[in-house]
Amino acid sequence: MNKMSASDSSVSEHYTKPELEEQILAALKAAGKDPDDLTVDDLAAVDEFHIRGRKATEELAQWAKIRSEHSLLDVGCGLGGTSRYLATAFGCDVVGLDLTEEYCRIARMLSARTGLMAKTVFHQGSALALPFADQSFDIVWTEHVQMNIADKAGFYSEITRVLKPGGQLVFHDIFSGANEDLQYPVPWAADESVSHLIAVEDLRSVLSSLEYIHVQWEDKTSESTAFFRTVVEQVQDKGWAPIGLHILMGDDAKTKFSNMLSNLEMNRVRVVQAVMTRGK
């Protein structure tokens, strides 16, 4: 593994959580699941670390019209939940990449426990230096990754490099809103030092410069607000379920969810899902 930059190390440290694997397995048992006989659905509450969870993934997959013969790269794969879902639902081979070594290790463990080692493979690495040859993938998928990356042009240029001409960039991400005074901590950052939001309009400019063609683009801010409102209300009423994203976020998970609800309601952030095609 190459030595990380200071900024990469800070991002990785934000997501690294001691004893995460043990906590996930214990939570699965508490939820009545057999850790030695798991399905993709058993893991969805904890391994799909993005807004609206499986619903958002299903929407994007439908837009992208994924087929079994597609080669797919999941950039910022986290624990590999989306990778495993896509491999299961569509029969495609999925390569996941994440900056955080602990996430990659747990992703491999969970794929082994769900019988998906043959369909999913996970690499530790930087999204700014993807360890793949040019034009390797039919689809590059990324959810909630670019917020931690300052070099947007470098990020999307690397994706373009490994994407085949005519291939699809599929993304679900968070952008700055009209009011930029973000309330921290949030799920991707304890403070502004590792948070690098840009406006949606700036992203459009970056993608236009790389000659992407619009396929589908939807603002999901309203749905995302409803998602966080539901979670916050459920936690206030009943506390956390045995298994959920709070395991990944640590002791301040409730604060992170509450802050995200406030940030969305106050137009500090926006959420967009889209499918774009790389020009020929």
The ranges assigned to domains in the chain are 6-278
Tens of pLDDT, residue by residue, the chain (280 residues): 456 787 899 999 999 998 999 999 999 999 999 999 999 999 999 999 999 999 999 999 999 999 999 999 999 999 999 999 999 999 999 999 999 999 999 999 999 999 999 999 999 999 999 999 999 999 999 999 999 999 999 999 999 999 999 999 999 999 999 987 899 999 999 999 999 999 999 999 999 999 999 999 999 999 999 999 999 999 999 999 999 999 999 999 999 999 999 999 999 999 999 999 998 7
Give every CB contact of residue 202 below 8 A, 6+ residues apart in sequence.
152
- Quote the pLDDT of residue 5: 80
What is the SS3 assignment for 214? strand
Burial class (CB in 10 A: 0-12, 13-18, 19+), 46: buried
CA nearest to 265, candidates 196, 159, 182, 187: 182
Per the DSSP assignment, residues forming a β-bridge with 176 are 199, 269
- Cα 225 to its chain centre, rounded Å, is 18
Burial class (CB in 10 A: 0-12, 13-18, 19+), 278: buried
For residue 129, count other CB atoms closer than 10 A to its CB: 10
Phi-psi region of 166 (alpha: psi -120 to 50; beta: other; left: phi over 0): left
Residue whose token pair is 């991002």: 11
- Indicate the helix (H) or strand (E) that contains 253: helix 253-265
- Quote the pLDDT of residue 1: 45
- Quote the pLDDT of residue 2: 53
The amino acid that residue 270 corresponds to is: R
Q: Do 277 and 166 touch, CB atoms closer than 8 A? A: yes
Query: Structure pTM?
Result: 0.95
Q: Please give the Cα distance from 169 to 19 (Å, whole number).
A: 34
Burial class (CB in 10 A: 0-12, 13-18, 19+), 160: buried
Q: Do 25 and 35 touch, CB atoms closer than 8 A? A: yes
- The two structure tokens encoding residue 178: 């009209």
CATH assignment of 6-278?
3.40.50.150
